[in-house]
Amino acid sequence: MYKKLQRIQLIITDLAEKNQCFGKLDDGMSVFVQGTIAVGDHVEAEIIKIKKQYLVARLTQILSPAPTRIQPVCNYFGTCGGCKWQHMNYSEQRRLKQKQVTDALHHIGGFTSIHCQPCIPAEEIYHYRNKVDFSFTDLRYLTLEEMEQNPEELQKPIDFALGFHAPGRFAKAIDIDHCHLATPEMNQVLNLTREFALQHRDELPIYSTHTHTGELRNLVVRNAGHTHELMVNLVTTTHQPALMQSLATHLNHALGNTLTTFVNSTTSAKNTVAFGEKEFVMHGEGYISDRLGAYTYRISPNSFFQTNTAQAETLYQQILTTAQLSPDDIVYDLFCGTGSITLFASAHCQKVLGIELVESSVQDAQANAERNQVENCSFLQLDIKNIRSIADQLSRFGSPDVVITDPPRAGMHPNAIQLLREIAPPVIIYVSCNPASLARDGAALAENNLYQLTECTPIDLFPQTNHVESIARFERR
């Protein structure tokens, strides 16, 4: 008979949902353990919930570490929710990411014979991000050690933070001095901006999500992967020209030729999303450029761009490899965004139709095609589930030989899947950032043996995290 707060010992054998790990006791009872744990760890844990079929416990100590466990490089690991896997070596991270995809396809999708390739690794496992979004808050997240100190003993103010939100703490942020996923230039901008903000606290108070007053909201830094151009975008409530020009001078003096552009974006929104309604360019042209393969993209403050440049190229090349396009193929690119996959596909087929819901993304996609002198791409603004409404346009464009779909994390709407089954292209390439959505949607596509899953390749776009991208090929039977 188990009791709450009882201490138990077990070996962790697998990952589980909601950032938990899994193991079994000697009597066969299943246990989900919360905490920073690696598969293979021998742990002691304290029972916090008792169910008929399983227990939930909280890690109290590592009795014997797994062979794959390593020392995290980040001082904020375990507090910041960004890098959940820094305590595991990289080969183990890749193994677990492949297993996530395989398990989802088997348990959720019901696919029994799965040909899942090893997870394609990233060349750089740190400093790979080309965009980082830091948040300002007037409530700094305190560690347990800091909570036990007197306020006058603290090295940092408790009412100022510029960094990342702790998991589940949207009103508080950890004051970050250095992020190991960001480039050195990004970290330099972070600390220069903090220095300036602390010096001008009276004129630039932090925006409060409780009172909805204040100025400083977000600091978004972009550092282009190939061109190395640097954009600083400070999101505030209102535009104060003199102060913003002073900050631009402060940044430019310290960064020199490294700073490409500085933009002050403003928003009246009552949330903390780093999206500006208006933009004021204080230095440079207000945008940067970067390349993916042979294509150049203009990146504005609100533009979407893959956050790992090198791995985005790997992803797109793998899409082409999996799609096996021929020069006569007609291709549809669903959820095409700003057209990056569309452009990559255009050089290998007759023509591509990109379909996207967001108007600004369609405009960016058209501009990207024109900028790169790609003439065999067309773009339509449309909700995919309403694709029947443009049946005549699709008929004129031509029936697709290959459909590439890259839906958001939640996957495809059931209506969109049904319409895709009605169109019934010979090949569907499903690009996914969520194994569960891929498995669920894949099962719906394959219903009644209409399609078979022939290949799946996981790709690691985000080392040190539990996120995995995957590319699946479905062939019509």
DSSP label at 451?
E
Q: Could you tell me how many residues make up the chain? A: 477
- The rounded distance, in Å, linking the Cα atoms of 230 and 299 is 11
Give which of 21, 81, 26, 93 is closest to 57, Cα–Cα: 21
Q: Distances in Å between the alpha carbon of 67 and those of 20, 41, 50, 70, 97?
A: 19, 8, 30, 8, 18
Angle at 225 between CA 342 and CA 222, to 5 degrees: 95
CA 432 to chain centre: 12
- Token couple for 19: 């950032």
- The rounded distance, in Å, linking the Cα atoms of 329 and 334 is 16
**For residues 267 and 238, is the Cβ–Cβ distance under 8 A?**
no
**For residues 43 and 63, is the Cβ–Cβ distance under 8 A?**
yes
Q: How far apart are the first and last CA of the chain?
A: 53
- Token couple for 362: 């369609």
**For residues 97 and 88, is the Cβ–Cβ distance under 8 A?**
no
- The rounded distance, in Å, linking the Cα atoms of 466 and 83 is 8
Which residues are catalytically annotated? 433
Give which of 381, 452, 443 is closest to 412, Cα–Cα: 443
- Kind and range of the H or E element at 250? helix 241-255
Question: Which residue type does 449 have?
Answer: N
**For residues 251 and 233, is the Cβ–Cβ distance under 8 A?**
no
β-partners of residue 221 are 132, 232
**For residues 440 and 411, is the Cβ–Cβ distance under 8 A?**
yes
